[in-house]
Structure 1
Amino acid sequence: MTRYVVIGGGIVGLAVARQLLLDHPDDQVTVLEKEDRPGRHQTGHNSGVIHAGVYYKAGSLKATLCKAGAASMVEFCTEHAVPFKITGKLIVATDESQLGRLRDLQQRALDNGLPVRMLSRHEAKEFEPHVSCVAAMHVASTGIVDYGQVTTVLARLFGELGGDLRLGAKVTGIADDVVETTAGDFPADVLINCAGLYADKIAILAGVRPPARIVPFRGEYAQLRADRTDLVKGLIYPVPDPRFPFLGVHLTKMIDGSVHAGPNAVLALAREGYSWRDVNVKEFAATATYPGLLRLARRNLRYGLSEMARSLSARRFAESVAELMPEITQADLEPGGAGVRAQAIKPDGSLVDDFLIVRTGRQVHVLNAPSPAATSSLEIAKHIVADLPIPS
């Protein structure tokens, strides 16, 4: 019997753990989660979008696993009665200067085999009557779901298969064949690190030198007042700037009918820093002095300052939303929470723009799994489990 230990009880960790027991039902699988319930961090603060896979380079892990993941997520939700909706989305060019990038995005979508269609301004208004644009691309296969509910179901299924989910088990050390935690020691023949915001720290504990460091970026959301949600029918995104990993402020009609606007992207002051008040001096000092971040910041100073200004000014945030839908004013927006993206950055300041999975010895480390990891989670699990290290 092989003893597998998965560190991290978010959607990726639980998807991997469930897949392990589906493929290796006679083995022992333990999930270690430091919080008191699964999915507390990236999973629980997710935008809820089932991404189609438009943005990712053809042949990359993100492109292949996201497209397959969208289909398998819909199948999973259908089978297990998790509410979801295929809404489609519009990616809109708000002025003529963005049309070239929109056409490039269309080609990338076509390269990835996705059903997309270019729309005129008038055609776009048939989908979203209040949108402002000069042209748009319709992505038919995009949807919405509550990934917290998906994670709850994954945890239940994992338990029914005989898995052991240990909550309140913060990892404190890793030896050759044991994982030390605040809830005791756990023997491990194979270790799988799905620790999200702390994935690089766990890798170091396990004796692995990660090729990139996790840098936390907070994304802050607003939401439309309940009496204004009828302005938005589905999902409306701007044309992204390919220099940055963030998609820009967008509008998302959630599965419960609320409408979220955002996120922006600012450097968090802690790895789990969901507001300006959440400060971890040690973590922030390590992040702020990391050469990779300093090099990235020097190249993108204007962008970073504009994101910070939008975080600190409700007026500027509302102006960004109004670029997509001019009828939305600052008075229409209420605070909507925040999430933290675990973005891996290399020492040279370049962003890791694909999923990064490092296999070494009897260990697997998921070192970069931001969006679209939730969409892709079931396929990431299959990808990892299909090529596991064999214990000696």
Structure 2
Amino acid sequence: MLVISVKKGWELMLHGKTIVVGITGGIAAYKAATLCSKLKQAGAHVHVIMTKSATQFITELTLQTLTRNPVYTDTFDERDASVVSHIDLADKADLFVVAPATANIIAKMTYGLADDMLSTTLLATTAPIMVAPAMNVHMYAHPTVQHNMQVLAERGMMMIEPDEGMLACGYTGKGRLAEPEYIVEQIEAYFSKMTAAKDDRMAFSANQEDALTSSKLQGKSVMITAGGTIERIDPVRYITNDSSGKMGFAIAEAARDYGAKVTLIAGQTQVEPPEGVEVIRVESTQDMYDAVMSRFDNMDIIVKAAAVSDYRPAVRADQKIKKTTDRMTIELVKNPDILQELGARKNGQFLIGFAAETHDVAAFAQDKLRRKQCDLLVANDVSRDDAGFGSNNNEVQIYDADGLVESIPLSTKHSIAHRILDIAYERLPLEVDELE
């Protein structure tokens, strides 16, 4: 998940955004008052549409007071002759949030019914829609409701799962509306990602344009390792990790675009390597070690982005191991440490390492940089499900011997690759002709 201070995120991401909140007829409608209040406090322009049933649980006046905007309940209650209300709200929304969303409104959205102000506006909007269901546990679990929510999710609507606990009807289970604070966090996270994606598209476009004219690494030899290594247990089984190779391949592509002669040493990967670079395929950590060390002396920049196996089986069976007992013990022995050996051997080469961590990222990254004698170390949290292994995106922190150099928010791996090489280029020693 994107890690951002919620309070600062609201202020940064929600200010000036137009959010339409649809409130339907469930007991959880009272929580919508808190949701609207928090969105308003964060600087959003909040407009509320209520179903007739929702007005049985909370008044229009309450929500009008909190949002400082008229509350809509009737499709035909046109208050401004210059616009059609439901079309105007549908058009101006940056985000549409339905909270609470009853089984009824979810069904209407699924089948395109438009028989009141809320369902009509939902059908007319092109804004992204976030749905927060709330209902009896058995209703929520009903196959029809589950099917409808799946259909909406497949259409791109964002679903906020309800909480588990004591429900107003007396049952205990899943069906409580997610807390307003959590819904606001999800709204903020959505706008944060959209902002990051927009900035990233602009940055990537700029990088592409820069790459076409840049020759900053012309004449340089760059070696990159990518992907995961595998350690054979027997001919059909092995130990590996989740590395996809995407980050290393992105760096290889960026280095190529900057004019470098690129050597890409790749283990197991999920995507095809870029064109225009020398690709050397390896399997095990020892294979990668041998390939790297045999070419190390001729390189100017080395980027070790591969996720190698730290250990390998002490014995590799020549034939498939047959299942004979309930337990099997495999003895592992330590593999050569490629990055540490590179740091110890380097003689003018610029060394960039990677640290894939699940906790205490900064502390582990800086410790690794010092022990492995890297010039830069790129760290990321691989426990996240929206970045890191297998994803096209990443969020990284770049360190040198003095500490944090730069923190790059969630961006595509291609744009991060260009930035890593930009920082490396700025730190390369000047050539003789540059000094003259």
Q: Same fold (TM over 0.5)?
A: no
Please tell me whether Structure 1 or Structure 2 has the larger radius of gyration of its CA atoms: 2
TM, length-normalised to structure 1: 0.26
Q: Which has the higher contact order (CA 8 A, sep 6+)?
A: 1
TM, length-normalised to structure 2: 0.24
